[in-house]
Every structure is written in C-alpha cells, then in structure tokens.
Structure 1
Amino acid sequence: MNARLIALLLFVSSYTFGQTVVPFDSSAWVFAGKVTQETFQGKAGISLTNGSIYLKDSTFKNGSIEFDMTLSKERYFPGFCFRIQDKANVETVYLRPHQVGNPDAIQYMPVFNGQEAWQLYYGDGYSTAVTYPLNTWIHVKLLVRDAQAEVYIGNTAAPTLVIHHLKRPTKAGQISLNNDAPALTRFANFQYTKSDTPPMAGTFKPEPTPQPGTILTWQVSSPFDEKLLQTDYSLPQLLVNRLTWQTLTAENSGKLNLSRISKLSEGNNSVFAKVTIVSDKPQIKKLQLGFSDRAKVYVNGGLVYTGHDEFGSRDYRFLGTMGYFDAVYLALKKGPNDLWIAISETFGGWGLQAMMTDQTGLTINR
C-alpha cells in the first residue's frame, strides 16, 4: 500500500471516528413541535410535525451533518438548519417533496431577521433537480466548510447540491431538524462531526464578477408602511422627513438582500434604496431592474415606474423569483439626479438589483 493511500485512509478514518451520534431525547434536543418516538421500516427514530427540534450543542461551524428521513407526497417543506444564531438568523436546506424531479426539488436559503429568501436565491448553487423516493427512508448529508457546502440525497458519491457561496457569516451555531407542516416526516440516525477539513467532492465556482453597470452600493432607509406610497405621484415628504439611512453593499450579482438590515413586519414592509446620478447633460438612460415583491421608482421626486413581481402575479405558476425582468428609461437632467426605489415585500424574499450598462456621461454616487 503506497504512502498516499495510507494517508487518505488515515484522514477518512480520523474524520469518521470524530462523529457524534445523537439520540432523539430531551437530554440532547429542545422539542418545539409534535414529536413521537416510533420505529418505521426497522429504524427507530421520531416523527415530527408542526415544528422543529433544536440540538442543544451550539458550537457547530464546519463539518458534517447526517440523518435519515422519510417524506410524504404533500406540498410542504421539511429540512434542516445549521449555524443557527437564533430562530430568525439561520442557514437552511429544505426539500420540496411535491416537486420531486423538478429544478427546485431541493433548496438552500439563508434567513436574515426572520425573512425567507428563496425568491432571491435559486438555480445553480441554490436549488437543483433531484429524484428521491417517498414514504421510505432516504439518507441526507451536509458537508460544510466556511462559505462552501454540499448536500447529498441518498447514498451517492457525488453531491446532489453544491452551494458555492453560503450567504450568512461563518459563525458557529445550533442545528435543527424542521417540519412546520402537518404532513408527516420521520427522522432517524442523526449524527454530526465538527471538522474544518471535511472531505468535500463538489466543484465550487468562484464568486462571479459584477456585470458592467451593476449598482453595488445603496443608501437604504428605515422600514415603513407601503400604504404611505399609495396617495400621490411624488415622494410623500412627511414620510421622507422621518426616515433614517444606512449603507448596504450588494452582492457581486447585484442582489441587495434588504433583510440583512431591515426586519419585515406588518406596517413596516417597505424601504427606499437610493443613489444620486450625476449627468453631464440632459439624456435618457435605461435602468434594468429586478425586485421582490413590488417596486416604485422615483426620479427627482416624481414617480416614473411601478411594478409587481410577487408570487402568482403573472400567472398561477410564477414564483416571484427576482431577476432583470423589468426596465425603466430615466429622463435625467444635467447635474445631480436623485434615484429612489421603494421596495415592498409580502413573503419569499425582500430584494432589489439594478444595472445601468450605458453610463456614458454619468457618475453614480451613493
């Protein structure tokens, strides 16, 4: 046996022996749902409905999480969370059993301030097609290292989902198993390993560079009620005068996840994002927009555009996912122009992205 193979076997062996097997009892978990101890198809475990269970250990950062689970055919979203800071700030992976075989059968989603964001993060690196059986045991495994992770569904050699860039900070936290629906999900054989060098097999893509013209830095207001925007075609000055502001930098894709700094609530479901555009002459420029769920665009205080991209707004199959699906042509005057975009949210992701590819004669200042 050559030295390289011996080294690999020693590495895998040391990783395996570091696993912690955790029984499903109150000494290790906090139960926040309906939990029933049961044996199904020869495996002892639990059934979980209408809630979650939280591992009491709050020191998991890197390593592996493994368990077996069963899924029903109903429309629901069971899965697990990791690096839980509190119930409103977590990394989440969940399955959509009703979408087996479709491109969103499994989903990674970061949660900031209690706001889900699956409408912002989808496709390569966030969701993918996978076929898994229902009403029988399947094995689920997560490997995570700093900002990268991969998920295995079933006993496969290659990862099912490669998460190129986790969106939340790399901080240790709790692990949970989740099923917030009445549809039945079972869990068995839970174990986890803490390791900064888990043996990952995925191909991870580097962070993409911003497209030319992407607006990356915005001033974002304190939240307010969307109803305050429905009375006029200009910025309501009473609202404007009471706003406070902070800087938020977009991801390289241009996505501005507004939940990073604003908590969504009834009566506080909107914010403004603003920049100043300095033009060397009067001219018209195209602004490409992506938003979730609703947007109103103001230039120099006047309303020039309104759009609706929420779940089901185009047809019953439209998911409300955010992309550069909309555009508005801005009539700019010579000198500074104030661009304000109000973004209002219902559920699924609170976000904005904007790009002005032709910036000839322009300077954009936050």
Structure 2
Amino acid sequence: MKTSIYKFLIVGMGSIQFLSAQESQKTQKRQEFPFTHQNWKIENADGSQGEIKIVTFKNKSGIKLEPNQKVLLKNKEFKNFILEFYCNGLSGPGLGFRVQDRNSYEYLYLRLGLSGKKDALQYIPIYNGSLPWQLYNYPKYEGKAVFPREKVATLPIDLKSELIQGKAGNELRSFLLEKGFSFSQESEIALSDDINYIYDPNEAKALLFEEVDDDIVFLDPRTWIHVKVEVKGDTASFYIDDVKTPALVVENLKRDAMVGGISLIGDGAEVYFADVSIKEIRSGRKTEEYVAKEKLPSEYLTKWNVSEMFAKDSVNFVSQVDSLIQYEDKFRAVEADSDGLINISRFYDDMTKTVVLTCNLISDADKTVQLYFDYADHLVLLLNTEVLFDKGMNFQPPPEKGEEGRVFVNDESVELSLKKGTNRLTFMLSADNRQKFNWGFVAKLEENLEGIVVE
C-alpha cells in the first residue's frame, strides 16, 4: 500500500472523418493573458472568490495558487485552440478546458512525482465534479512525460546511512540546510520502487533523491515546466517542454466538443503558473462533418437500465435489489461510452450513494459463459437471484486488482450459468464515498456469443 505522502505527490480511438467540403482552418494570432483582475478570477475550493497573488518564484513572475485553488479566465471561451503556459508545483497542477461550470469540463493534470512513468500525465472528463482517474487510464488517457528537475546537492558518502525509511535524521537535515533547504523535525524519508524523497509535512515541500553514477543526488522538483495543449474537435495533444512531440494524444475526448472556458487548477500544495497564451483555431468555412466511431466488439455489455440513487443497506442489500427490481420499468436506459465504460457520474452526482443496473441475457439453451468485468468502488453482482460477486476497494485495492485500482475489463471474471430463456444480470454499484472520485464499471462476455442475445 502506498503511503499517504506518496498519494500526495502523485495525485496531485480512432475515428474516420468525411468532410462534405475541404475544410481550411485559420489559427488566430497568439494572445497573451497576464494575470490581472481584468483577465482572471481566483476560485477557492468552496466556490468563493479568492485574491490574485502575483509573485516572483524561481526567477519567473507568475500567479501563486494556494492549496486547492483554481484561476479562471474571464469572458473568454474557446472550442479549438493552442494554449501554452508554465507551471511549477510539487504534486499535480492541471488545466481545465471547455469549462461549462465548476463541475463540468475536460481536465489534464501532471503527476510531478512520477516523471518518466507511463502515468505521469492524466486526462479525465469531469462530470458532476467527480475525479474518476481509475476509470480513464493508460494507454489512452494517461501518458509518459519527463519533467525537468534541478540538481541541488550530492550526498557525502558518510551520510548514505541516513537514507532509511521513516523520520529524517538530524545529520541529513543539517546537510540540506547548508545547501539552502530547511526541513523540520517532522520530515520523513520515503523509499519505493518508483520514487525516493524527503518530505516536510509542515511546509508541504520535498526533495527527491536518486543514485547517479554511484552518487546520491538530491533534485528539486519545483522547476518551471512548459506545457502546450492543442485541442481540435475530439482530439487533444499534450506537450511537455518539447513542443514538437506530444507526450499524450487523446483521440476521443469524452465530453461534447463545445465552446467553453479555461481554468488553471492547483492541488493540495502551492502551485505557480506563468506566461499564459492562447491561439484560437477557427474553421475557414462552414462544413458538415461526419464521424464514424470505432465500434466495440459485440461481446461488450453496453446497454443497461439504471435505478435512482439510494443508500445501501450493507446487511439487507439483496432485499433492496429485490424491491427495486419490482419497479424496473422506472429505471432509465443508459449506454456505455466508446470504450465500453459506464461512468455513473455522467448521470448522478451523489458519491455517497448506490445504484442498481440491469440487463437481460437471453439464451437459446442452458449453457455456461464467462463474464469479464472491472469496477470502482464496490460491486455486488447477481445472476437472476444468486449473488456471484461481492467486493470493494476501500481505496486500497488488492494486489490483483489492476494498478492502483485502475479499471481494466479483464481484471475480474465470474462464470455465468445461464438457463434457457431470459436471465437477468444485476450490478449493484456503490460510489467511492471517501475520496469522491470513482464510480463506474466495464463488462463483457466471452467472445463466443452464439445463441445469446443481450437486451
């Protein structure tokens, strides 16, 4: 299990287009947006308005965001654009684009503690304010990026014994103080396969360290990072420092392609942003565009009926399911997205609740088939009236449950003993009511569906 400090550091499809006419696109001149009251407004975590703070940090002038603040561009909206900015943070600074309101937008954030890893960048569609990072994962929605880090010290050989898990020793803290970095007595050293660092919880600051040519070097992650984002239609390309080669290309942005606002988003620590510029991309003339989405394999279960939200009875939940099924005609029809994913946050906004979803499997004979699926956060699965699966993650997924609890369709499986005729498959799915992040699932049958109809 990852430490809470580690969580702090890291949290922070193809389509074919046919155009009725040749479309030319015009990129407008780049427009800079200084951090003034005329251009921007600060929003605190509770939605109240904050104060704009302009500071010089690491030799660059920019805006300082306190933990969990965001800054929104005023009176400007964009659909297709090229945006560039610099950011400097410890955990997960991010960008909101095509913002409709504070709970509805497209979102990119940087996991600065995971430089060089395949999940250093994360794209997420935000519905109803949830942050479902476990549902949208690599290789489509997370990407590898290398973030610049400043070398600040080389550890003397006689202090290597100080680098052990737990409280940072006095000798190590004294050495770092000589190099200009003050760490309190509460500072801790964390060691893992991914990242090693010393962290001060009192001031939310850290230094990384790693072995380079038999030396232990300390690196300051708080360096300015150049970010470029190009958004056109359903595609977004994200660049880190290298503005010619994208680190992540998302080819099927999940929210509708519409005009919306821009926001720069902080996390649980101080974040700095600077040098924001935007070029709007406009169509040269009006065209009619047809988009053929890549079809999912037929074995995916994409059409479901979902109940209203309710509070789950952890003891008598089967009785709850039985009661709800009596009013199944009141359920609403929902459909999975192009990845086969049902993100409940698209439809409901209370992450303390549970829903029941049903679909029917009509079989031409008694037979056994395999169901593959994955979920977040707690799932009870029934076939007809029999409970076949009942597990939850509690934000501490078991080792076999994907990486960090990410949802992959082949992570779980059960055998379905279908009877001839109609069989009701029921998912009772509870949200992540602690972090308020993830609420969804994906499911498919084995490839051979001969003799089975899904309704």
TM superposition score category, shorter chain reference: 0.7 to 0.9
Whole-Å separation in 2 of the counterparts to 1:310 and 1:82:
31
Whole-Å separation in 2 of the counterparts to 1:281 and 1:229:
35
Q: Cα deviation per residue 1:61-92 (whole Å; 9 max; x = unaligned)?
A: 111111111122xxx32111000111111100
Q: What TM-score do the two structures reach when normalised by structure 1?
A: 0.85
Match in the other structure for 1:125 = 140
Does residue 29 of structure 2 align to residue 18 of structure 1?
yes
Question: How far apart are 1:110 and its partner, in Å?
Answer: 0.6
Aligned partner letter, 1:83? R
Larger RCO, structures 1/2 (Cα 8 Å, 6+ apart) = 2
User: What secondary structure, in the 3-state scheme, does the structure 1 residue paired with 2:53 have?
Assistant: strand
Match in the other structure for 1:353 = 442
Whole-Å separation in 2 of the counterparts to 1:41 and 1:305:
53
Q: Cα deviation per residue 1:306-347 (whole Å; 9 max; x = unaligned)?
A: 133453221499411111211111222221111111111214
User: What secondary structure, in the 3-state scheme, does the structure 2 residue paired with 1:195 have?
Assistant: strand
Give 1:303-318 correspondences, 5 Å limit: 303-309=387-393, 311-315=395-399, 318=403
Match in the other structure for 1:189 = 275
User: What secondary structure, in the 3-state scheme, does the structure 2 residue paired with 1:303 have?
Assistant: strand
Match in the other structure for 1:84 = 99
From the CA coordinates, give the structure whose radius of gyration is larger: 2
More divergent stretch after superposition (314-323 vs 132-141): 314-323
Match in the other structure for 2:113 = 98
Whole-Å separation in 2 of the counterparts to 1:332 and 1:41:
64
Distance 1:38 1:317, change over 3 A: farther
Does residue 124 of structure 2 align to residue 40 of structure 1?
no
- 8 Å Cα contact 1:234/1:298 also seen in 2: no
Give 1:205-244 correspondences, 5 Å limit: 208-225=294-311, 227-228=312-313, 230-231=315-316, 233=318, 236-241=321-326, 244=330
Whole-Å separation in 2 of the counterparts to 1:240 and 1:229:
18
Q: Cα deviation per residue 1:78-125 (whole Å; 9 max; x = unaligned)?
A: 111000111111100001111112111111111111111211111123
Match in the other structure for 2:406 = 321
Q: What TM-score do the two structures reach when normalised by structure 2?
A: 0.69
Does residue 127 of structure 2 align to residue 112 of structure 1?
yes
User: What secondary structure, in the 3-state scheme, does the structure 2 residue paired with 1:116 have?
Assistant: coil
What 5-or-longer segments of structure 1 have no aligned partner? 1-10, 199-205
Q: Cα deviation per residue 1:272-304 (whole Å; 9 max; x = unaligned)?
A: 221111122222221111111121111223322
What 5-or-longer segments of structure 2 have no aligned partner? 1-23, 45-49, 149-220, 285-291
| Residue identity (%) | 29
Q: Cα deviation per residue 1:231-286 (whole Å; 9 max; x = unaligned)?
A: 254554444456742111112321111211121333x2x11221111122222221
Whole-Å separation in 2 of the counterparts to 1:32 and 1:354:
38
Selected match of 1:179 from 266, 279, 286 = 266
Question: How far apart are 1:208 and its partner, in Å?
Answer: 4.2
Aligned partner letter, 1:280? D
Aligned partner letter, 2:74? K
User: What secondary structure, in the 3-state scheme, does the structure 2 residue paired with 1:117 have?
Assistant: coil
Match in the other structure for 1:296 = 380
- 8 Å Cα contact 1:55/1:176 also seen in 2: yes
Distance 1:123 1:318, change over 3 A: closer
Does residue 86 of structure 2 align to residue 71 of structure 1?
no
Q: Cα deviation per residue 1:140-189 (whole Å; 9 max; x = unaligned)?
A: 111000100101111431111111110000111110011132x2221111
Whole-Å separation in 2 of the counterparts to 1:232 and 1:295:
11
Matched residue pairs, number?
A: 339
- 8 Å Cα contact 2:307/2:324 also seen in 1: no
Whole-Å separation in 2 of the counterparts to 1:245 and 1:211:
26
More divergent stretch after superposition (238-247 vs 76-85): 238-247
Whole-Å separation in 2 of the counterparts to 1:237 and 1:27:
57
Does residue 257 of structure 2 align to residue 170 of structure 1?
yes
Q: Cα deviation per residue 1:17-61 (whole Å; 9 max; x = unaligned)?
A: 622211111111111246421123442211112210111134211
- 8 Å Cα contact 1:215/1:355 also seen in 2: yes
Aligned partner letter, 2:442? Q
Aligned partner letter, 1:132? F
Whole-Å separation in 2 of the counterparts to 1:361 and 1:317:
32
Distance 1:101 1:339, change over 3 A: same
Question: How far apart are 1:351 and its partner, in Å?
Answer: 1.2
